Structure 1
Amino acid sequence: MTSLAIAANGLRKSYGDKVVLDGIDLAVPAGTVFSLLGPNGAGKTTAVKILSTLISADGGDLHVAGHDLAADPQAVRAAIGVTGQFSAVDGLITGEENMLLMADLHHLSKREGRRVATELLERFDLVEAAKKPAASYSGGMKRRLDIAMTLVGSPRIIFLDEPTTGLDPRSRHNMWGIIRELVSDGVTVFLTTQYLDEADELADRIAVLSDGKIAAEGSADELKRLIPGGHVRLRFADPAAYRSASAALREVTRDDEALSLQLPSDGSQRELRSILNWLDSVGVEADELTVHTPDLDDVFFALTGPTGSTSSTSSTGPTVPAAQNDQSKETAR
């Protein structure tokens, strides 16, 4: 428990007859980014609200920052920060005044509050705008101010509920840099997002929420390997080498015009090494090897689509249906 920033066992929440969270388990190691994915209405925001003490759970053994959520919610609040989908910035006052107001709420002295506000405004590149009304800020600036306000209390765990929704690509990438900096400082980030590339880019572990259950959990690479369709493509410049390889390999798809062979593969290092060792053993050299793996879009659609699985994870991993589309991500080696 001590190595986990967040530990939830059997988390349940219903609204009337609607079951939102159906006994889910979450384990978030300290100093990592954990991303909760799911379609709209899957219960991502409900999970954040429960774990950040904003609403109560119907059941479950829940610990955040080592504190029992039910027995000591005040201790949990003292250890966390929350940035929701919608900005908590007061647009009628300046960015600096927003920061000082947050310092007052954390009961910092005026001197300490001003010091912390100044440091955070510098860190988030908001010094020039500090004296301007927050209503005049761009979406990206408001988001940066939002997170700066969250950091006034020096939380060790931060809940970011869809923090980049509505931001332009440049502002999103800037926000990614901020999240990486937080984690490098030892902060744990619990991230919900609708952007699959965001989870792929940032998260150490990802859980996919569907129909109130965790459909699958793992690193981005582990989740991608659950979906069929991965393969390795070998291309040859020498027709003789192509014929030799195609004659020797089993379960291979040929493209005689392109002189390329396609082999089913999960893209793991072990399988790639096996293919390269086999080529060496028969004295055949491929001119190009490319690895094609399903991306998180494929995983998401397979797990949450109309035919998606909601089976729970196990030591051997979840049962996952075939992806609903044929898209793949190509990585040249």
Structure 2
Amino acid sequence: MRYLVTGGAGFVGSHAVLALLDAGHEVVVLDNLSTGHRKAVPANVIFHEVDLSDYQATARVVAQGAWDGVLHFAALSLVGESMREPLHYLRQNFLTALNLVQACVEHGVKKIVFSSTAALFGGPERLDPIPETALVQPGSPYGESKFMIERVLHWAHELHGLRSACLRYFNATGADPGGRAGEDHRPETHLIPLTIDAALGRRPALRLFGTDYPTRDGSCIRDYVHVTDLADAHICALGQIDNRSVTYNIGSGQGYSNLEVIRSVERVSGRKVPWEAAPRREGDPSHLVADSTTLRQETGWSPRYGDLDQIVETALRWRESHPQGYER
């Protein structure tokens, strides 16, 4: 099979590229490298440095088909930044996805897997695992932009036959167990790599945003899914959209608090994590844990790296072997 991966030089996209290659597929990557890394793309993969906001350039790549499917990861993805620059996030994420979907429709692509988000559920305060049927009430412009794209895909299916899988990620983390790829954001905003860097003495004390949430220890609770398991879920989803469109939540189903993440990093690294309390961040719900029952039942998917210490161990090995990320 032949697949086009947008954002394939980014964190999740690069791991999806590896999963597709490992499964024997041909992969082509499209990325503007605004946040991705050219070195994250394997040398044997065709790469197009293209910005999806340029419709003509996007359409030229899509027209090269024949694609068995497109996997769309490219997006702005920082919740806090979206609260400061809401119109920029709404415009950029929506219009770039719209350009890609239009190009897919015009050039006969039949399948697309979309990197959506659990931030769609940012409004309600829930204490149970969140199913796909939960009320969609984004708590940030980032989450809103993803829901807008889900609606575009709905109508692209209804009116043009473009089948889609919308995969609502919870917290992607970890690194390729073989050391081929890892997490390298500039700046880094994700808790596990920040906690690891604090333990390794590469950054000042970790700032823990919010210690007064209605949770078991006052810190936010999140569902962490290993990025390799997440990549595998995309391949599973591709097999489900031959004749229909689907929406799946992807997470481990296990919630860990921010303080529990700190303790995990301390166990795995054997180092203390310096940290200090900080005010809550706007747009952060107290509790986000996935109910991935539908994905598990329909595809047989289950996380291979479901334990937090396992996830932290792969992330730690990547951070230790790549102290400057891909720029080492």
Q: Higher helix share goes to which structure? A: 2
Q: Higher strand share goes to which structure? A: 1
Q: Give 1 or 2 for the bigger CA radius of gyration.
A: 1
**Both structures adopt the same fold (TM-score exceeding 0.5):** no
Q: TM-score, normalised by structure 2?
A: 0.25
Q: TM-score, normalised by structure 1?
A: 0.25
